[in-house]
C-alpha cells in the first residue's frame, strides 16, 4: 500500500510520540471534497457569526469588516447590507441570539480597548430598516472574548466577557453581564466581576459549561502572555468554579503546564468517560491540546500548527463524540480534528492559504451537516468551507 506523506507523518507521530505533524506548512494540501466559498473580500475581518436574520429559511452572516463598519450578508448570494458604519473602531468578537425575546436573532459586538459591548436589535424589516444599537457595557476593557450562556440558571441568556487589560475599573478580570427585564429599555445590564483581578496576562477567549458536575455552569479561559504582557503573569489556562450565588467571586483553578500564547479553551467530554475535559489552543503560539479530567493530564492533539487563534469544540462528523475545528493564522490552514471517541485525533485539512481570527461551526447551506465560517483577518475576507459529508452520503445511495 502506498502511503501519502501525511499518512506517514501521522503514523510516526501516533506510534512513537504524542501527535506531531511533521510536514512543513508550505507543503500541506487540503483534502478533497471541502469547497471554499467567498462571502466577502476587501478588508480585515476579526469576527463573523451566522443565523437566519431575514427569517426566510436561509442562513445569513454578520461580520465586522473594520473601520467601524458592520455588515449583514444575506444568503445564499451574500447581498451586502451595512448595519452600522460608525461604531468607533473594530468589533474583535461577537455573538448572536434573541436578546429581547421577540423571536428573531439580534447581534452583539465587542470592541477590545477601550472596552465596549453593544447589541443590535433586529427590526421588522432587517434589510431596509435601521438596526437599533444599544449599550451593554463600556467599563470592562480588553474584551477579547465574549460568550453567551445562562450563568444564573434563570432561563435567560447572559453574556460573559474578558476584561483583559490592566486598566481600571476592572483590571485583569472576567465578568458576566445579566440583561434587564426589558433589554430595549434604558435600564443597565448588571455587571458581575466573577474573576476579580485574578486573570492577568492578557486573557483571550472564554469557554462555558458545568466542569465539576455540580449543576452550576463554570467558566474557563486562557492568557497569552508574551512581550505585550507587562505583568509577566500570562501563559496559562484556568477554570473558575461558580458558587451557589454566581454574583459572588468564583474560585479559580489553575490547569497544569506553561502555555505560551494560550487563547482558546472549551469544556466537553473528550474521551467518553462521563467526565468533563477541556480542549484548548495556543493562538499566539503553537499547538492544540486537551486536558483529561479529573487530574488534567495534558494530551497533545497537534503540536505543529502555528497560531490557531480560533477554536470550536463540537461533533463535526455526527458520530456522537466531540471534535475540534480551527483556522490558524500562522500556518494559514483550516483544519478539523476527528475524535475516535476515546480522545485520539486525526487531523483533516479542509483549506490552505487562509488566515483567520475567528471560526464558527454552523450548517450554512441547510443540508444537515456542519460547515465552517471563517473571519479571515490578514486574508482580508469572510469565507465558508462547505462540508462534503451529505453530498458523499447521497453519492453512496
In terms of residue numbers, what domain contains 297? 39-306
State pLDDT tens for residues 230-239.
Answer: 999 999 999 9
Q: What is the CATH number of the domain that holds 225?
A: 2.130.10.130
Region of residue 197 (left: phi > 0; alpha: psi -120 to 50; beta: else):
left
pLDDT at residue 371 greater than cutoff 80: yes
The pLDDT confidence band at residue 28, using thresholds 50, 70 and 90, is confident
391 domain-assigned: no
Structural domains counted in the chain: 1
The pLDDT confidence band at residue 389, using thresholds 50, 70 and 90, is confident
Of 19-33, 117-131, 345-359, minimum mean pLDDT range = 19-33
State pLDDT tens for residues 173-224.
Answer: 999 999 999 999 999 999 999 999 999 999 999 999 999 999 999 999 999 9
Tell me how far apart the alpha carbons of residues 264 and 305 are, in angstroms, rounded to a whole number. Answer: 14
The C-alpha cell that represents 334 in the structure block: 483550516
153 domain-assigned: yes
302 domain-assigned: yes
Question: Chain-wide mean pLDDT for the chain?
Answer: 92
158 domain-assigned: yes
pLDDT at residue 49 greater than cutoff 70: yes
381 domain-assigned: no
Look up the pTM and report it: 0.91
Question: What pLDDT, on the 0 to 100 scale, is given for residue 16?
Answer: 30
Mean of pLDDT values over 355-363:
97
Q: Evaluate whether 280 touches 301 at the Cβ level (below 8 Å).
A: no
Tell me how far apart the alpha carbons of residues 372 and 57 are, in angstroms, rounded to a whole number. Answer: 19
**CA 27 → CA 30, 242, 353, distances in Å?**
10, 45, 11
State pLDDT tens for residues 58-91.
Answer: 999 999 998 889 999 999 999 999 999 988 889 9
pLDDT at residue 392 greater than cutoff 90: no
For 33-172, list the strands marked E by DSSP.
35-41, 47-51, 60-64, 70-74, 79-84, 91-97, 106-111, 116-121, 132-137, 146-149, 158-163
59 domain-assigned: yes
Question: What pLDDT, on the 0 to 100 scale, is given for residue 54?
Answer: 97
For 205-231, b/e burial (b = at least 16 CB within 10 A) is bbbbbebeeeebbbbbbbbbbbeebee
Question: For the residues of 191-259, what is the DSSP string, one character each?
Answer: EEEEE-S--TTTEEEEEEE-SSSSSS-EEEEEE--STT-TTS--SEEEEEE--SSTTSPPEEEEPSS--
104 domain-assigned: yes
Local structure of residue 309 (DSSP, 8 states): -
22 domain-assigned: no
Amino acid at each position: 500500500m502506498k502511503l501519502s506523506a501525511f499518512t506517514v507523518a501521522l503514523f510516526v507521530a501516533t506510534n512513537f510520540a504524542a501527535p506531531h505533524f511533521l510536514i512543513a506548512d508550505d507543503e500541506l494540501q487540503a483534502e478533497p471534497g471541502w469547497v471554499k466559498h467567498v462571502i466577502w473580500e476587501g478588508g480585515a475581518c476579526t469576527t463573523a457569526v451566522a443565523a437566519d436574520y431575514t427569517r426566510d429559511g436561509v442562513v445569513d452572516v454578520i461580520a465586522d469588516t473594520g473601520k467601524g463598519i458592520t455588515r449583514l450578508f444575506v444568503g445564499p448570494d451574500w447581498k451586502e447590507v451595512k448595519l452600522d458604519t460608525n461604531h468607533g473602531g473594530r468589533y474583535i468578537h461577537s455573538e448572536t441570539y434573541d436578546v429581547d425575546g421577540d423571536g428573531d436573532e439580534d447581534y452583539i459586538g465587542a470592541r477590545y480597548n477601550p472596552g465596549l459591548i453593544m447589541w443590535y436589535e433586529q427590526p421588522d424589516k432587517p434589510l431596509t430598516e435601521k438596526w437599533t444599537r444599544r449599550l451593554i457595557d463600556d467599563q470592562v476593557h480588553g474584551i477579547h472574548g465574549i460568550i453567551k450562556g445562562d450563568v444564573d440558571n434563570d432561563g435567560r441568556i447572559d453574556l460573559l466577557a474578558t476584561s483583559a487589560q490592566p486598566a481600571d475599573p476592572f483590571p485583569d478580570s472576567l465578568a458576566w453581564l445579566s440583561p434587564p427585564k426589558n433589554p430595549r429599555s434604558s435600564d443597565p445590564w448588571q455587571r458581575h466581576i466573577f474573576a476579580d483581578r485574578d486573570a492577568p496576562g492578557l486573557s483571550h477567549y472564554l469557554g462555558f459549561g458545568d466542569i465539576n458536575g455540580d449543576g452550576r455552569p463554570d467558566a474557563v479561559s486562557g492568557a497569552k502572555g508574551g512581550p505585550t504582557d507587562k505583568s509577566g503573569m500570562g501563559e496559562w489556562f484556568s477554570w473558575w468554579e461558580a458558587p451557589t450565588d454566581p454574583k459572588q467571586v468564583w474560585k479559580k483553578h489553575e490547569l497544569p503546564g506553561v502555555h505560551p500564547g494560550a487563547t482558546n479553551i472549551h469544556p466537553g467530554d473528550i474521551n467518553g468517560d462521563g467526565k468533563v475535559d477541556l480542549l484548548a489552543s495556543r493562538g499566539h503560539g503553537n499547538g492544540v491540546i486537551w486536558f483529561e479530567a479529573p487530574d488534567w493530564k495534558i494530551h497533545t492533539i497537534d503540536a505543529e500548527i502555528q497560531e490557531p487563534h480560533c477554536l470550536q469544540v463540537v461533533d463535526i462528523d455526527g458520530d456522537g463524540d466531540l471534535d475540534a475545528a480551527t483556522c490558524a493564522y500562522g500556518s494559514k490552514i483550516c483544519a478539523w480534528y476527528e475524535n475516535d471517541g476515546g480522545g485520539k485525533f486525526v487531523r483533516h485539512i479542509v483549506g490552505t492559504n487562509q488566515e483567520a481570527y475567528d471560526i464558527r461551526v454552523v450548517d450554512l447551506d441547510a443540508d444537515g451537516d456542519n460547515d465552517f465560517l471563517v473571519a479571515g483577518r490578514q486574508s482580508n475576507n469572510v469565507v465558508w468551507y462547505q462540508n462534503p459529508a451529505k453530498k458523499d452520503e447521497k453519492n453512496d445511495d
